[in-house]
């Protein structure tokens, strides 16, 4: 009876951990790249019109590229508040390996000597916070709906936690509600 309870606990814990793992969402990499360019424009359309006191300083920039794991697409936007800049970048597609590395404090994102990194949370989601005191750069990277890798970067940051505060100010519901055509459901 105890071993059954332990197995049930392991299954629950494994499922809970799995809910936070990134997905590769493109099964058919032979599709015409136009489908992912169109999906990147959909992501660009849901980037926030404003983040706290930051307003767009440039238009949203959709992108589409391909890595060893397959197509990656998304959009980014630069925002400004006086002489301060905020970048919001969202990637989707085959992001599993990129997201795993970006969220690992011991991984590539955490090895830059200029940055101190540590795990954090954005709206209850696991995140990786990065801070450069010398450059006053704050960053946070996190997953949304297991299929979007989101990075928020602010320069010069007021403090180590400002990127997290700004990320939490972004309404993620439009992103979560997107229906993309070039991915598996």
CATH number, position 63 = 3.40.1000
Residue 90 lies in a domain: yes
Count CA atoms closer than 13 A to 48's CA, side-chain side: 23
Residue 43 lies in a domain: yes
pTM, to two decimals: 0.87
DSSP string covering 102-156, please? Answer: HT-TTSGGG--TT-EEEEEEETTEEEEEEEETTTTEEEEEEEETTTEEEEEEEES
Residue 9 lies in a domain: no
Residue 96 lies in a domain: yes
**Does residue 3 carry a pLDDT above 50?**
no
Residue 2 lies in a domain: no
Residue 17 lies in a domain: no
Please count the structural domains in the chain.
1
Residue 108 lies in a domain: yes
Of the listed ranges 44-53, 105-114, 173-182, the least confidently predicted one is 105-114
pLDDT of residue 7: 34
Provide the pLDDT confidence category of residue 12 given band limits of 50, 70 and 90. very low
Residue 18 lies in a domain: no
Measured torsion, CA atoms of residues 27, 28, 33, 36, in degrees rounded to the nearest 10: -30
Per-residue pLDDT tens digits for 102-113: 998 876 555 556
Per-residue pLDDT tens digits for 155-176: 999 999 999 999 999 999 999 9
The kind and range of the H/E element at 35 are helix 34-45
The C-alpha atoms of residue 71 and residue 178 are separated, in whole angstroms, by: 18
Residue 92 near residue 73 (C-beta atoms within 8 A): yes
Task: Give the torsion sign (CA, 105, 90, 98, 100).
Answer: positive
Query: Which residues form the domain of 172?
Result: 23-176
- Residue of 102, 24, 103 whose CA lies nearest to 66: 24
Pairing relationship of beta strands 55-56 and 84-93 according to DSSP bridges: unpaired
* Higher pLDDT, residue 78 or 116: 78
């Amino acid at each position: 009876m105890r071993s059954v309870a332990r197995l049930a606990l392991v299954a629950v814990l494994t499922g809970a951990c799995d809910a936070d793992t990134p997905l590769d969402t493109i099964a058919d990499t032979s599709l015409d790249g136009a489908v992912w360019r169109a999906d990147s424009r959909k992501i660009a359309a849901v980037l926030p019109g404003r983040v706290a006191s930051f307003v767009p300083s440039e238009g949203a920039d959709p992108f589409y590229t391909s890595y060893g794991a397959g197509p990656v697409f998304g959009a980014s936007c630069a925002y400004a508040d006086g002489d301060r800049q905020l970048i919001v970048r969202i990637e989707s597609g085959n992001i599993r390996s990129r997201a795993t590395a970006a969220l690992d404090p011991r991984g590539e994102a955490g090895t830059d000597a200029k940055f101190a990194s540590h795990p954090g949370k954005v709206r209850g989601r696991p995140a990786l916070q990065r801070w450069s005191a010398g450059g006053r750069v704050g960053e946070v990277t996190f997953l949304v709906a297991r299929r979007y890798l989101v990075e928020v970067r602010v320069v010069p940051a007021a403090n180590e936690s400002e990127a997290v505060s700004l990320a939490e100010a972004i309404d993620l519901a439009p992103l979560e509600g997107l229906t993309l055509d070039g991915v598996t459901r």
